[in-house]
Amino acid sequence: MRKLLERLYVMQKKTYVDKYGTRTLKRLNPYHPLTYIVIPFYYALAIAMYGFVGYKQEMDSNFFKWQ
């Protein structure tokens, strides 16, 4: 699924080198219209996996921030 999102440019990856090594940052592309279709599926999958209580403990809420 992640590879498909990367091919459609819904998920962006950024690689850089710092003094500790190479790091890769990922985020959802806020300018791509398919992103806003993927987000409800992301929420539904998270609730199915973790339930309502575990959802807040396990999932990120800011999709568009580089992480």
Name the band, by pLDDT with cuts 50, 70 and 90, for residue 17: very high
- Residue 49 is assigned to a structural domain of this protein: yes
**Phi and psi angles of residue 30, each rounded to the nearest 5 degrees, phi first:** -75, -10
Taken as a whole, the chain contains a residue count of 67
- Residue 65 is assigned to a structural domain of this protein: no
- Residue 9 is assigned to a structural domain of this protein: yes
- Residue 17 is assigned to a structural domain of this protein: yes
Mean pLDDT across the stretch 13-19?
Answer: 90
What is the domain range of residue 49?
2-58
- Residue 66 is assigned to a structural domain of this protein: no
- Residue 64 is assigned to a structural domain of this protein: no
Is the pLDDT reported for residue 66 higher than 80?
no
Residue linked to tokens 């459609």: 8
- Residue 54 is assigned to a structural domain of this protein: yes
Question: pLDDT tens, 29-52?
Answer: 888 898 888 888 888 887 787 777
- pTM score, whole prediction: 0.57
Is the pLDDT reported for residue 61 higher than 80?
no
Distance between CA atoms of residues 64 and 23, nearest Å: 18
- Residue 51 is assigned to a structural domain of this protein: yes
Is the pLDDT reported for residue 22 higher than 90?
yes
